[in-house]
Structure 1
Amino acid sequence: MELVDLFVIGLALIFLRLWWRYWSVTGGGPKNLPPGPPGWPLVGNLIQVILQRRHFIFIVRELRKIYGPIFTLRMGQRTMVIVTDSRLIHEALVQRGPTFASRPPDSPIRLVFSMGKCAINSAEYGPLWRTLRKNFVTELITPTRVKQCSWIRKWALENHMKRIKSEAFENGFVEVMSNCRLTICSILICLCFGAKISEERIKKIESILKDVMLITSPQLPDFLPILTPLFRRQMKEAKALRKRQLECLVPLIKNRRAFVEKGENPNQEMVSPIGAAYIDSLFGLEPATRGPLGEEEYVTLCSEVISAGTDTSATTVEWAMLHLVTKQEIQDKLYQEIVAVVGKNGDIQEEDVEKMPYLDAVVKETLRRHPPGHFLLSHAAIKDTELGGYTIPEGVFVEFYTAWITENPDIWSDPGEFQPERFLHGDGVGVDVTGTRAVKMVPFGAGRRICPAWSLGILHINMLLAKMVQAFKWLPVPDAPPDLTETYAFTVVMKNPLRAVILPR
């Protein structure tokens, strides 16, 4: 081969390498994106990530050490900017909230279930989102409405206590997660539809909604839409699941509408007064950009409430109970506080848990040590903007990796230890879980897109823990200690569900 040929080939290889780096990091344009690992043409870093065969969070942790607190990944046709620094997260979500308050495009499968992003979580920042969120806040989480619906929690918690007592008698132990999911799901179904239904129907709804969350998790066509035709089976399965979801929930909607409009209640299923159920407010809602909502939109909006509220709350209770089981001194201290406020056999009211600072500290430490998700839901900038000295183009996926904040030894002392006392007289005193003042932990997000029902979720967690610890002493199952191993579903859950022995107090 001539020397000239070798020179030309060498130049071509150098050019190709530089082009790969340029394209993979910037997307092919001079956008001043944050730095990131070089990728391959067309697929960017996608294949590199897949070939590692590790969960995404472990890859993010390593890349943070290499590229700093803000970096870019090109995942096929999806550009992702990963933000891990508490100050940058606070700047984006709170100080410049409106700029980063939108959502990126949804995948075709997610659109099947969101009815074109007609949901509070997925709606783009604008009139539709404002209408849906304002209606939700007004109808479900005002102090008046929370108090009006306290009987629902009382009814569900009474059933919960009877059920775990019966399960312990039959099996010798209690499985915490399944019982908490069932209880919280029953509360949210009643809040949404104003109905008391059988445990069998509740379990069916819970199962379908869990399947919805799993099928809408990221898949290969989300990153490479050109492959969508190869995933026709998944789309067919999604449409079949959507049909089951509608068949399960539409009868509740129709029964509630008949109750509201005609007073019909043949099987006495409807128990909330007219106007006290979330669905009642949706019947007359007409978002300016969309017009009147239909049954499919009702199913989407109510499913959103039930799914998000059930998983995050039940997961938090399970992790809290794990630490109470493994650290009996924490459980004893919590029990003594409960007894001091309401007595050994007193009926715990919702206002009573507000007088229990150690309970509050246990819950906050659980949310710090085991946040429901390692990432917030994906955000998107409404226009090209700047963050951390880099350009964030409109519409790219901005991912806030918030778990690192709760693990950061510069923010928390002994971050791997479970120490509720830190919130009474330590580095957790005065911490704002909403992230408004500063971001030290944001289990519910922050800014414009913070979970609107976070306070309701905290109430459910507090009530469950207080009732369960007041009535029973929780102990490990002999020869089967609790397992701290995590796994990653919609929330970060225990790989092996917590089982515990209970002894009446």
Structure 2
Amino acid sequence: MELIDLLILGLTLFFLAIWWRSFIVINGGGAKNLPPGPPGWPLVGNLFQIILERRHFIFVIRDLRKKYGPIFSMQMGQRTLVIVTSPDLIHEALVQKGPIFASRPPDSPIRLLFSVGKCAVNSAEYGPLWRTLRRNFVTELISPVRIKQCSWVREWALESHMKRLKSEALENGYVDVMDVCRFTVCSILVFICFGAKISDDWIQDIDNVTKDVMLITIPQLPDYLPILTPLFRKQMKRAKDLRKTQMECLVPLIRNRRAFVEKGENPKLEMLSPVGAAYVDSLFTLNAPGRGLLGEEELVTICSELFVAGIDTSTSVLQWVFLELVLNQDIQEKLYREIVESVGKDGVIREEDVEKMSYLNAVVKETLRVHSPAHFTLSHATTEETELGGYKIPSNVNVEFYIEWMNEDPDLWKDPGIFRPERFIDGDGVSVDMTGTKGKVKMLPFGAGRRTCPGLALGLLHVNITLARMVQAFKWLPAPHAPPDPTEAFAFTVIMKNPLKAVILPR
């Protein structure tokens, strides 16, 4: 360790001791009437206890839930976490008390770098800026008019998608489901965002930088002990270098689109969507409260948010769907029969068709239940001190909603470990509302309340129509050399530890 690092560490420990002493004096050991939780160590709370567990945080939470009940708290360095696992308490917080639990906690320096100080739909604190950004997102991306207007984009991307599947199967003897689907979803989102048809290499660069951003913004030690941030100078330098790469990747698209919108310039003929039809068009003139007109830094952040939120979730769901279809050939055959009955063996599947396919929608919902894209919602914070479950929730704590538990709860689901789409047609999933707004919650793959994922409808559309096209065209079988492995890995979303390889046979 360098001398400067030793000096910083010594000063850090000194200031941590002062902070801990003031924490004890002011709070009497912590905020009064917080939910119960595991006793922690001086200065660091439960942070190093979790690190020494040497297993994912998810498994620690499962054990703590058994011991402390449906709501408990943890002291993670300088951050207090309140973990909520009960469906009733999650509904009370996110729906009944939605505006109170609608804010976000402070971010780490690295995440603030990429969000330009929380100038994004997902990261913005509850208030005028968030309302403006979200309203614009909904109007310009997921309104029925806009979704219909972009139908041809999905049609073009899916035609290319089917060609890539055939090409990869011919070359390798199998297809990597995640890779092929990632590229297609990324292509669609780039086109919707910028109205441009760009090279495959450029699309791949955007996807690569998006993956790198997601990985570098995963919570790290300085998130919980900000005073240690100076010891992580190299990580901050990597983050700044990555931000520069992200800007270099996206700013040319933004400038080309602005020139097309304002001057009609289109020298490379890559701009195919008319003025006003691309998401970024609406951002050029958006007057954001506290920000004014958005600069290139903010535009890159807001456009990137679409890729971060849309690529991984949609593609991970598609990969899990095909795992289940490969393992359960009877379910795959039943889905294929519904598709053929709806549009024919060789008929074109349109977006309005997939809305009417009840079994298709049931397969996707069951995948979201058994293989939820995330085990937690994004972190919440309260706008004011409040109560939940009889405990005090201060405004300065992270409120973490553990949504995976309800998907596995035998009190909510019959045989929860079994993949059975029929439960959403004539079983215990018939009346389930995935947004939690219509009563008791049983699954919330996209969150609930004010901070529900705004791209829910768009993401489900991409999953449903891609799935339907792929099953109509091919029979999916396990690759002999790489048997399907349902082991989970935890990244930005819950993914497969070993990506699915599948053999495809033309129908």
TM class by smaller structure: over 0.9
Partner of 2:102: 101
In 2: Cα distance, 1:93 partner to 1:23 partner: 31
Change in Cα spacing, 1:30 to 1:247, as seen in structure 2 (3 Å) is closer
Q: Which amino acid aligns with 1:464?
A: T
Q: What's the secondary structure of 1:399's corresponding residue?
A: strand
Residue correspondence of structure 1 range 260-271 to structure 2 within 5 A? 260-271=261-272
In 2: Cα distance, 1:118 partner to 1:478 partner: 47
The answer to whether the 8 A contact 1:406-1:441 is kept is yes
The answer to whether the 8 A contact 1:153-1:187 is kept is yes
Aligned-residue offset at 1:145: 0.6
Q: What's the secondary structure of 1:100's corresponding residue?
A: coil
Aligned-residue offset at 1:409: 0.6
The answer to whether the 8 A contact 1:27-1:74 is kept is no
Aligned-residue offset at 1:439: 1.3
Change in Cα spacing, 1:226 to 1:503, as seen in structure 2 (3 Å) is same
Q: Which amino acid aligns with 2:220?
A: Q
The answer to whether the 8 A contact 1:182-1:203 is kept is yes
Q: What's the secondary structure of 2:99's corresponding residue?
A: helix
Change in Cα spacing, 1:347 to 1:50, as seen in structure 2 (3 Å) is same
The answer to whether 1:483 aligns with 2:485 is yes
Q: What's the secondary structure of 1:97's corresponding residue?
A: coil
Structure 2: stretches of 5+ with no match in the other structure = 1-19
Partner of 1:14: none
Q: 2:452 aligns with which of 434, 450, 453?
A: 450
Partner of 1:72: 73
Aligned-residue offset at 1:27: 7.4
In 1: Cα distance, 2:117 partner to 2:396 partner: 17
Partner of 2:300: 299
Q: What's the secondary structure of 2:351's corresponding residue?
A: coil
Change in Cα spacing, 1:144 to 1:124, as seen in structure 2 (3 Å) is same
Aligned-residue offset at 1:28: 2.7
In 1: Cα distance, 2:107 partner to 2:482 partner: 43
The answer to whether the 8 A contact 1:99-1:381 is kept is yes
In 1: Cα distance, 2:303 partner to 2:489 partner: 27
Partner of 1:11: none
Partner of 1:211: 212
In 2: Cα distance, 1:288 partner to 1:500 partner: 49
In 2: Cα distance, 1:384 partner to 1:255 partner: 47
Q: Which amino acid aligns with 1:427?
A: D
Aligned-residue offset at 1:289: 1.9
The answer to whether the 8 A contact 1:402-1:441 is kept is yes
In 2: Cα distance, 1:226 partner to 1:102 partner: 24
Aligned-residue offset at 1:84: 0.2
Residue correspondence of structure 1 range 140-289 to structure 2 within 5 A? 140-289=141-290
Partner of 1:419: 420
Aligned-residue offset at 1:30: 4.6
Q: Which amino acid aligns with 1:134?
A: R
Number of residue pairs the alignment of both structures matches = 485
Q: What's the secondary structure of 1:185's corresponding residue?
A: helix
Q: What's the secondary structure of 2:100's corresponding residue?
A: helix
Q: Which amino acid aligns with 1:364?
A: K
Q: 1:466 aligns with which of 462, 468, 471?
A: 468
Partner of 1:385: 386
Aligned-residue offset at 1:480: 2.6
In 1: Cα distance, 2:487 partner to 2:420 partner: 19
In 1: Cα distance, 2:59 partner to 2:330 partner: 33
Structure 1: stretches of 5+ with no match in the other structure = 1-18
Q: What's the secondary structure of 2:392's corresponding residue?
A: strand
With structure 2 as the length reference, what TM-score do the two structures score? 0.94
In 2: Cα distance, 1:49 partner to 1:142 partner: 43
With structure 1 as the length reference, what TM-score do the two structures score? 0.95
Moved over 3 A (4+): none
Output one character per residue of 1:155-209: Cα deviation in whole Å (capped at 9) or x when no partner: 0000000000000000000100001010000000001101111111111110001
Output one character per residue of 1:317-363: Cα deviation in whole Å (capped at 9) or x when no partner: 00000000110000000000000000000000000001100000000
The answer to whether the 8 A contact 1:98-1:448 is kept is yes
Partner of 1:38: 39
Partner of 2:58: 57
Output one character per residue of 1:412-438: Cα deviation in whole Å (capped at 9) or x when no partner: 111111000100111001110111122
In 1: Cα distance, 2:257 partner to 2:202 partner: 16
Partner of 1:124: 125
Output one character per residue of 1:399-422: Cα deviation in whole Å (capped at 9) or x when no partner: 000000101111011111100010
In 1: Cα distance, 2:209 partner to 2:392 partner: 41
Identity, % of aligned positions: 71
In 1: Cα distance, 2:297 partner to 2:196 partner: 19
Aligned-residue offset at 1:395: 2.2
Output one character per residue of 1:421-473: Cα deviation in whole Å (capped at 9) or x when no partner: 10011100111011112211000000000001101100000001000000000
Moved more, 51-60 or 477-486: 477-486
Residue correspondence of structure 1 range 361-400 to structure 2 within 5 A? 361-400=362-401
Q: Say what the alpha-carbon RMSD is for the aligned residues.
A: 1.3
The answer to whether the 8 A contact 1:23-1:41 is kept is no
In 2: Cα distance, 1:28 partner to 1:39 partner: 11
